[in-house]
Amino acid sequence: LKSLNHSHIIARISAITVIIAAMIMMPGVKICPTLLTFCGVWIVIEIIYNKCQWKTAAGWYTLLAVMTITSIGIVANIYGFTTLYATDTSLPELVNTDQHRYFYNALLLRNGITPQEPAYQFGYSYFILAIWKITGVTITPLLIVNQFAFLLTLLLTADITSKTVKHPSAPTIAIILCASVCYLLNHSTLLLKESLVTLSLVCYARAMMNDNKFRRIKLISAVLLLGLIRFHWLPYLLVITPAAYFSNKGYKKIITESLAVIIAVWTGFYFIYENIALNIITSTGIENSFVTDDNSRNAFWNIIGPYFDYPVWKKILLTPITAAVQVITPFPWNYGRDMIYGLTQWYSHI
């Protein structure tokens, strides 16, 4: 795979041209710094991909397509958050309550004010605050970080596939399939934590299968990131831990170290997040007051029962069902409700 291949050069130029056109048609971001950041993200992804033994031309083009689509999505969403409301990226109009809470809780924390809600609910806002230490208060880099997380997820997914499926085309197929999931595409262009959660889970799975010196770094980084931004998902790592059996050697040591890291992080956040950790396995940790009557949703409840009332261990067992229904299948009946997330929501309903 030659990085200076003429067709690749044309593809890169075409991607940049399309992204610039989107910026001009949907003003909101600062063109030069945003374009340079997009290019920086792509350069890092391409460097990593070119070092992979399983790289193919099809995989490269898929990654570039995802990079282009998500870049346009970010531009479109920022246009919807700013220009349509006559504001700018430092004070976006975020109609969706989750995005609004993450952004404005970070503003409160930046001003030394503690948000009036449980501590575990603004861990992602601390992550945002850390990014603002570098970039200043703006929503643009926050979305690009999610885009970068999604692209890394594609690479890690392909790498995991190369270790578990012994076929030269398997990693490329994994990239294509993962890149086609509208849930992942859409969340990589929004101010939501799902892209980082997915990256944490995939990074943890890859660490389970790795015997090199970077395994512990991947392991600790994945668990810490997940603990910060979505604390109640830490038990889900136990489902992934058996992936250590795909390691070349020492899987018992890997499992032991992994469990030790999970327990240590869990214990740490137990004290940070106001003593909620030890109750999380047997309680839902979720207020179900937002669950409203809806015929389409009720059809789902009739199959699995009162999902939001189940303890975490039961939700883990139901993951194959909920993943198939909620992630792979778009929800056209929610179109009007979900459009408040951002303009990119339309392609989650195709």
DSSP string spanning 133-172? HHH-S-SHHHHHHHHHHHHHHHHHHHHHHHHHS--TTHHH
Residue 4 scores a pLDDT above 80: no
In the chain, pLDDT over 70 holds for what percent of residues?
Answer: 81
Residue 291 scores a pLDDT above 80: no
Tokens (6 digits) for 116: 């009036």
Tokens (6 digits) for 261: 């890291």
Q: What is the pLDDT of residue 349?
A: 52
Q: What is the pLDDT of residue 242?
A: 79
Q: What is the pLDDT of residue 269?
A: 78
Segment 160-189 mean pLDDT: 91
Tokens (6 digits) for 199: 């990256």
- 135 or 213, higher pLDDT: 135
Cα–Cα nearest to 188, from 322, 29, 347: 347
Q: What is the pLDDT of residue 325?
A: 63
* Chain position carrying tokens 């346009």: 72
Confidence of residue 300 (pLDDT cuts 50, 70, 90): low
In the chain, pLDDT over 90 holds for what percent of residues?
Answer: 50
Tokens (6 digits) for 250: 């020492």
- 335 or 31, higher pLDDT: 31
Residue 292 scores a pLDDT above 50: no
* Chain position carrying tokens 């980082």: 196
Cα–Cα nearest to 255, from 274, 234, 235, 240: 240
Residue 298 scores a pLDDT above 50: yes
pTM as predicted:
0.85
Give the other-Cβ count within 10 Å of 153's Cβ. Answer: 22
Residue 338 scores a pLDDT above 60: no
Tokens (6 digits) for 251: 């899987």
pLDDT per position as a tens digit, 108-123? 999 999 888 776 678 8
* Cα(66)–Cα(181) distance, integer angstroms: 11
Alpha helices (H) along the chain: 6-25, 31-50, 57-81, 97-110, 123-135, 140-164, 170-179, 182-187, 194-208, 215-229, 237-240, 251-272, 295-304, 312-317, 319-323, 335-338
* Cα(253)–Cα(216) distance, integer angstroms: 12
Confidence of residue 88 (pLDDT cuts 50, 70, 90): very high
Q: What is the pLDDT of residue 283?
A: 47
pLDDT per position as a tens digit, 221-278? 999 999 889 887 888 888 888 777 766 667 778 888 888 998 888 888 777 765 554 4
* Cα(210)–Cα(191) distance, integer angstroms: 31
Q: Tell me if 164 sits within 8 A of 120, measured CB to CB.
A: no
CA max distance for the chain? 58
Q: What is the pLDDT of residue 114?
A: 85
Cα–Cα nearest to 132, from 122, 120, 143, 141: 141
* Cα(315)–Cα(233) distance, integer angstroms: 11
Cα dihedral 51→54→58→60 (10° resolution): -20
Confidence of residue 103 (pLDDT cuts 50, 70, 90): very high
Segment 284-297 mean pLDDT: 46
Q: What is the pLDDT of residue 214?
A: 79
* Cα(239)–Cα(202) distance, integer angstroms: 12
Instruction: State the amino acid at position 120 in one-letter form.
Output: Y
Mean pLDDT of all residues belonging to the chain: 83
Residue 280 scores a pLDDT above 50: no
Residue 243 burial class via C-beta count within 10 angstroms: exposed 0-12, middle 13-18, buried 19 and up: buried
pLDDT per position as a tens digit, 139-162? 999 999 999 999 999 999 999 999
